[in-house]
Structure formats: C-alpha cells, structure tokens
Amino acid sequence: MTTIKQLTLVDDDEIFVFLTSKMLVHSKLVDLIKIFDNGYDALVFLKENLGNIDALPDIILLDLSMPIMDGWEFLEEYVKINPLIGKKITIYICSSSISPADVIRAKTINEVSDFIIKPITKDKLVELIKNL
C-alpha cells in the first residue's frame, strides 16, 4: 500500500473536513492530516516552512469559497512562492462549485492538478493518493 506522509485540507466546511478526515484515517494511507479553515492560514504555514520538507504536505485539497482568503487568492499567492518550496506539492481544487467558469479558470493554473467537484468519496480519495 502506498502511503503518504501528509495531506492538508484547506476548507472552512466543518462537516466536509470532519467526514474527509474520518475517511482518510480509516484508509490508513495518510500519516498526518493538517487542516486550515482559510487560505490565509495555510499560506502563512507554507511560507514559514518553505525548506522544511517534513512539515510540508504531499497533497493539498483546496476549497474555493472560504473567508479571509479564498481558494483563488490562495493560489495567486502560492504561484509566487512555489519556486521556493522545497517539495513537490500536488494541489487538487475540491469545491462544491459546479460553475464551468471555475473549472476553466482552474485549468489556467499549472499548479492545480485537477478540479474535484464535491462530494468526494472514499474510493476517489484512495485513487488520488495511489496515483501520486
């Protein structure tokens, strides 16, 4: 079984975070799950740990609609610091949005690997991790 060290959830939806975390724990594929409820806190954490490979996640599941700093604003800043990050981080947008405009916008950002429309199933989570 492939396992990864860390997956970070950036999402303010408490129930989604709760259920996703439960599924991940149950899958036993992830050693550590980190949670931020807005883009700003996640960004601050990344900036503080640019070279600290052990602290950085392998995968980020990024929500779009969040307070303080939403997913798009986070990505705008992430693109700027990406060259300084000492680890390859795979970002999936994970949003309840079904707006085609959002999907098209996501495609223009190289740092985004895919756009996952919620809900996310346990099988899908396993697939994401295994494909890494």
Partner 1 sequence: MKTLGVFFNKHNNPLIMKELDDYKYALDESAIVAITNPKGIIIHANDNFCRISKYSRDELLGMDHRIINSSFHSKDFIRDLWGTIANGKIWKGELKNKAKDGTVYWVDTTIVPFLDQDGKPYQYVAIRSDITQRKQSEERLLKSLKEVSDYKFALDESSIVAITDQKGIINFVNDNFCKISKYEREELIGKDHRIINSGFHPKEFIRDLWVTIANGKIWKGELKNRAKDGTYYWVDTTIVPFLNELGKPFQYVAIRSDITLRKKAEEDLIKYSSALEFKNTQLIDFCNIVSHNLRAPLINISMLIDYIDQSTDDEERQMMHSKIKPVVNHVMEIFNELVESIQVQQETGIESDKIYLKECLDKVLISFEAQINEYEASIELDAGEAPIIRFPHKYFESIVSNLVSNALKYKSPERKPNIKIESKKVNDTVLLSVCDNGLGIDLHLHRNNLFKIRKTFHKHPDARGFGLFMTKTQIESMGGKIWVESTPDKGSTFFVEFNNQIV
Q: Which residues bind partner 1 (CB under 8 A)?
A: 13, 15-16, 18-19, 22, 64-65, 67-70, 73, 95-99, 102, 118-119, 121
Residues whose CB is less than 8 angstroms from the CB of residue 23 and which lie 6 or more positions away in sequence, other chains included: 122, 125
CB of 63 to partner 1, least distance (A): 9
Nearer to partner 1, 57 or 71 (CB): 71
CB of 36 to partner 1, least distance (A): 12
Q: Which is nearer to partner 1, 68 or 79 (CB)?
A: 68
Residue 87 or residue 122: which is nearer to partner 1 going by CB?
122
**Residue 52 or residue 107: which is nearer to partner 1 going by CB?**
107
Taking the complex as a whole, how short is the minimal distance between the CB of residue 103 and partner 1, in angstroms?
11
Residue pointed to by tokens 């309840």? 96
Nearer to partner 1, 19 or 89 (CB): 19
SS3 of the chain: helix, strand, coil, percent, to 5: 40, 25, 35
CB of 73 to partner 1, least distance (A): 6
- Give me the half-sphere count of Cα atoms (radius 13 Å) on the Cβ side of residue 71: 26
Q: Is the dihedral of CA 75, 129, 36, 45 positive or negative?
A: negative
- Tell me how far apart the alpha carbons of residues 103 and 99 are, in angstroms, rounded to a whole number: 7
- For residues 37 and 8, the answer to whether their CB atoms sit within 8 Å is no
Q: How far is the CB of 17 from partner 1 (least distance, A)?
A: 10
